[in-house]
Structure 1
Amino acid sequence: MSWLFVLLQQLKQFILPLIVLLMFGRGDRNELWPLIGVAALVVLSLWQYFTYRYGVAGDRLVIRSGLFERSLRVIPFARIHNVALQQSALHRVFGVAEVRLESAGGSKPEAQMRVLRLDDALALEALVRHRGATDSAIANETESATLLALSFGDVVRLGLVSNRGLVVVAAAFATLVQISQRTVLDAFRSVGTWLFGFAGEHQFGLLHYAISALALVVFAIAVLRGFSILLALLQYHGFRLSQTGRRLTVERGLLARWRTSASRRRIQAWTLREGTLHRLLKRRSLEVDTAVAEDQQQQRALRELAPIATPAACDALIEHLLPRAGWTQLQWRPLPPSNWWRLVLPVVAPVCAIAIAAWWRLGPWGLLVLAWLPWAAFVAYRRAQRMAYATNAVVIAVREGWWTRHWRFAELDKLQALQLTRSPLDRRCGTATLHLDTAGSGAVAPPLRVRFLPHQDALALYASLSRTLARRPLRW
């Protein structure tokens, strides 16, 4: 049944335009001629897929593809850094899986097997794990041990703290606009006319309008959170982080299942997050950057070690995976809080521009927008009070944020470059910023940098880290 999955994969990018063409196309049905092109692409892709072969030759994987235009690819097992298995609902029905073999660098996986029997896929994953490791690592490999498992309540909390519902609504709205912009505008116009007509008939006062607006906001938030919880259940149901020897594996998903694994030494940097709702629920999240090729399909990479967990569980996970780092015993060095005004500067110009526009439209009442500046200054001051960094013989860590917080850290052996910069404000204030670069910078991860360091302290830290990096080999 491999042809079925290839056919569906090819039709994904054409199904929406074809539906639009069928439902909203004008003229006669001769407009269906694009179906000929789609059929030709499907036949071509099937032809290429059925000529795809892979095999094992010693310590490497050999892949052949093509008939008239042939391709031979040889991939050493030691080069493969991550093995990702995906099972859609259809995959699970037929007991098959899609496998991606990823390496550091590049924008595409080293190899992609779109349809393999599940037992063959798991066997290939084990083969890569054993052939890519050293003999001593294989000898020390033990049975799989569960490091973290999310319960149903944890997944619901994850949906509450995330904004995935907003992404779903925005995608649905964009799709509707692409299909028929006039239909969407007519729907908004009809709802608005009905609401204002209903309010006019019942002679609502200012208080009623305020209560109605508040009710609509609460309803919208509830709907968005409901979508977020539903999406979290689909993506993170049955989440399990396990360890086999030095390799970490994550399995998750309700209808579609994802299984991805990577060696512990491929982790380049760590991010510990604590948002507003995280703090209310007494939870955090732990993410990592791995040295693998990352494209737009981010969900397949080993990125979230703990999507949501208690602070104690996150600390225990870090201590287990970084036993020499002494995470809970780090000595944090605060940065000068006198630089708080530099954190509020980016907010001043937009707030003033909005206030001027509001004053132009609403008169003196529009200047109330400026009331946001004292709050922004207070938040900046509290952020500056919490900014700190810590370093020892194993790791360097930075913490930032106040009500929404994050900790960013990396092992010194993973640092690839150091950069010391001074902006005009830095020179004026006698400070500098130290940037630290690793191989696996995440697309949404905060930068690993130490800001507002006194210049002499920055030079000393830069010199100390430079000597350490010069002595130690880079552990890829």
Structure 2
Amino acid sequence: MTPYLAMPPRPAWPTAGARRLHWATAPLRALNIFVVYLVLLGLWLLVVPAQDGTLTIPIVRVILFIAVSVPVAVVAAGVGVWHWWALRYWIEGDDLVVDAGIVRSRIRRIPLSRMQGVDVVRPLVGRALGLSEVHLELAGGSSAQITLRYLGEHEARALRAELLALAAGLPPHTPEAPERPIGRVSLGVLFASLMLRVPVLAAIAAFFGLVAFGIVFKELAVLAVAVPLLLGLLRGVIAPLVLYTEFSVAVAPDGIRLRYGLFETRSQTVPPGRIQAVRVVEPLMWRSFGWARVEVTVAGYSGDRQALSSTLVPVAPTFAAFDLVSEVFPGVSVQKVALTDSLSGRAAAGVSRDVFVTRRGLACRTWDVVALARAQSVRMTASPWQRLTGRATVHVDVPPGPVHVAAVDRGVVEARELTDDAVTRAALARTGAARTERWAR
């Protein structure tokens, strides 16, 4: 008699092809747990403040510290070894299978054809020990990410090349595709571009003004405003400077390869065909130097992943920025697309066979480009004020991201014609576009 409920058999673990993380994963995880213990409890057990304000370490506290720390260290070591032993991964056909857990197994099967990105990250500690992390991004939001931490540096690069080859329908041992370097951002240009921004210069002037006021009038209350300003400057200048140090761009058959980072180096491949829209930003103070920034919206990315992957290049010569757009959308020359001005004269828009282009802004000029084959919808909207003045806005919608393509302040008749034209061209572009889920096609 057939049972009412039958549990599916657990997939057999292929002992010949299964792989584990680097053995250093166990002591590093144990060390992380022990450091957390020291910060939250260990140092409090060891150090006692005396009545005169000095810190003392009585022998009784040393014994107590040792008595508590030894079991914590043993438990941390056990957790580290358990985590290392429990995680296994292997490639089965066109899928990457990750099995995590011993008592309670959690198996994830990732179709490589649906993979959004494979990044090799080398944190500071990992660089010192020759270790790397492999990040696999999947469609489905911020929770759809798999991190293999840690692998040997050579093993991480080999795994990345193997995954990209299989995702492209190539043999697993296909060597990594050669790349064509596009350019590198020097540290001086990066620092200058971060400083030459109106909000940064205004914050610097306000900070020194507050400090001078506090010194002259001996007023410490200005620190309540000066300190947040200083923290904002550190976040707006130092953090991007550290993040994008040694930034380089190269083009390969498997996508646009980005490498950057000072303390944590990252090798990132922006997948081809999944860049939905591109933005070229020319701030006012950058134009005299001929600089621009390139941002993108990548389908399938969300949250922190979208924010981290939205910058295709932090600063580059303007001609190089538009050349990079031509690499993303082959055969497209943005500056050759015929644009018509809006009624306000502060924006322009145009459509070609393959792309919809908008330009807006006087102080900060912004070019938004969307491939019509990847447009999700085209719509026309009008606010109450626009209805009174006979104007409308044409939107070309793409997945959520930093780039929002909209032709603002068009005449109603012109907006309808532009909408119909974009819809027709988008349908033709989708008909002629190659439909495949393979990575590099």
Tell me what 2:110 maps to: 75
Q: Conserved in 2, the CA contact under 8 Å of 1:149 and 1:240?
A: yes
1:452 aligns with 2:434: no
Change in CA separation of 1:274 and 1:58 when aligned onto 2, cut-off 3 Å? same
Task: State the Cα distance separating 1:68 from its structure 2 match.
Answer: 1.6
Name the CA distance, whole Å, in 1 between partners of 2:361 and 2:167: 40
Task: State the Cα distance separating 1:159 from its structure 2 match.
Answer: 3.1
Q: Conserved in 2, the CA contact under 8 Å of 1:108 and 1:294?
A: no
Name the CA distance, whole Å, in 2 between partners of 1:289 and 1:306: 13
Tell me what 1:400 maps to: 360
Q: Conserved in 1, the CA contact under 8 Å of 2:334 and 2:357?
A: no
Q: Conserved in 1, the CA contact under 8 Å of 2:142 and 2:305?
A: no
Partner of residue 308 from structure 1, selected from 305, 308, 315? 315
Tell me what 1:428 maps to: 388
1:55 aligns with 2:62: no
Tell me what 2:342 maps to: 335
- Which structure dedicates a bigger proportion of its chain to helix? 1
Q: Could you tell me which amino acid in structure 2 is paired with residue 457 of structure 1?
A: E
- Equivalent positions of 1:157-306 (< 5 A) are 157-161=192-196, 195-197=216-218, 230-296=238-304, 301-306=308-313
Aligned length: 385
Change in CA separation of 1:295 and 1:14 when aligned onto 2, cut-off 3 Å? farther
1:66 aligns with 2:87: no
Tell me what 1:344 maps to: none
Change in CA separation of 1:424 and 1:295 when aligned onto 2, cut-off 3 Å? closer
Name the CA distance, whole Å, in 2 between partners of 1:99 and 1:66: 19
Q: Conserved in 2, the CA contact under 8 Å of 1:251 and 1:260?
A: yes
Where do 5+ consecutive residues of structure 1 fail to align?
A: 170-189, 200-212, 338-384
- Which structure dedicates a bigger proportion of its chain to strand? 2
Task: State the Cα distance separating 1:198 from its structure 2 match.
Answer: 9.1
Change in CA separation of 1:438 and 1:12 when aligned onto 2, cut-off 3 Å? farther
Give TM-score, length-normalised by structure 2: 0.73
Name the CA distance, whole Å, in 2 between partners of 1:424 and 1:23: 67
Which secondary structure does the structure 2 equivalent of 1:265 belong to?
coil
Which secondary structure does the structure 2 equivalent of 1:289 belong to?
strand
Tell me what 2:128 maps to: 93
Which secondary structure does the structure 2 equivalent of 1:336 belong to?
coil
Q: Could you tell me which amino acid in structure 1 is paired with residue 338 of structure 2?
A: Q
Task: State the Cα distance separating 1:145 from its structure 2 match.
Answer: 1.1
Structure 1 residues 199-231: Cα deviation after superposition (integer angstroms, max 9, x where no partner): 9xxxxxxxxxxxxx9xx99x9999987886644
1:156 aligns with 2:191: yes
Tell me what 1:464 maps to: 421
Partner of residue 146 from structure 2, selected from 104, 111, 132? 111
Change in CA separation of 1:423 and 1:120 when aligned onto 2, cut-off 3 Å? same
Q: Could you tell me which amino acid in structure 2 is paired with residue 456 of structure 1?
A: V
Change in CA separation of 1:281 and 1:72 when aligned onto 2, cut-off 3 Å? same
1:388 aligns with 2:360: no
Tell me what 1:415 maps to: 375
Q: Conserved in 2, the CA contact under 8 Å of 1:62 and 1:72?
A: yes
Q: Could you tell me which amino acid in structure 1 is paired with residue 358 of structure 2?
A: V
Name the CA distance, whole Å, in 2 between partners of 1:326 and 1:251: 26
Q: Conserved in 2, the CA contact under 8 Å of 1:165 and 1:231?
A: no
Name the CA distance, whole Å, in 2 between partners of 1:18 and 1:284: 49
Change in CA separation of 1:40 and 1:427 when aligned onto 2, cut-off 3 Å? farther
Change in CA separation of 1:432 and 1:90 when aligned onto 2, cut-off 3 Å? same
Task: State the Cα distance separating 1:334 from its structure 2 match.
Answer: 0.4
Structure 1 residues 325-366: Cα deviation after superposition (integer angstroms, max 9, x where no partner): 2222111110001xxxxxxxxxxxxxxxxxxxxxxxxxxxxx
Tell me what 1:319 maps to: 326
Where do 5+ consecutive residues of structure 2 fail to align?
A: 1-23, 50-60, 205-210
Name the CA distance, whole Å, in 2 between partners of 1:429 and 1:165: 37
Which secondary structure does the structure 2 equivalent of 1:56 belong to?
strand
Give TM-score, length-normalised by structure 1: 0.68
Which secondary structure does the structure 1 equivalent of 2:262 belong to?
coil
Structure 1 residues 244-298: Cα deviation after superposition (integer angstroms, max 9, x where no partner): 2141111111222111113221111101112233224331111111123333355
Which secondary structure does the structure 2 equivalent of 1:296 belong to?
helix
Partner of residue 5 from structure 1, selected from 28, 42, 53? 28
Name the CA distance, whole Å, in 1 between partners of 2:373 and 2:140: 18
Structure 1 residues 172-196: Cα deviation after superposition (integer angstroms, max 9, x where no partner): xxxxxxxxxxxxxxxxxx9988642
Partner of residue 122 from structure 1, selected from 145, 157, 165? 157
Name the CA distance, whole Å, in 2 between partners of 1:272 and 1:49: 44
- Equivalent positions of 1:8-19 (< 5 A) are none
Tell me what 1:373 maps to: none
Name the CA distance, whole Å, in 1 between partners of 2:305 and 2:409: 36
User: What do you get for the CA RMSD once the two structures are aligned?
Assistant: 4.4
1:132 aligns with 2:155: no
Q: Conserved in 2, the CA contact under 8 Å of 1:248 and 1:264?
A: yes
Q: Identity across aligned pairs (percent)? A: 22
Name the CA distance, whole Å, in 2 between partners of 1:316 and 1:198: 53
Q: Conserved in 1, the CA contact under 8 Å of 2:279 and 2:368?
A: yes
Q: Could you tell me which amino acid in structure 1 is paired with residue 375 of structure 2?
A: L
Change in CA separation of 1:470 and 1:314 when aligned onto 2, cut-off 3 Å? closer
Change in CA separation of 1:276 and 1:91 when aligned onto 2, cut-off 3 Å? same
Q: Could you tell me which amino acid in structure 1 is paired with residue 425 of structure 2?
A: T
Task: State the Cα distance separating 1:105 from its structure 2 match.
Answer: 3.0
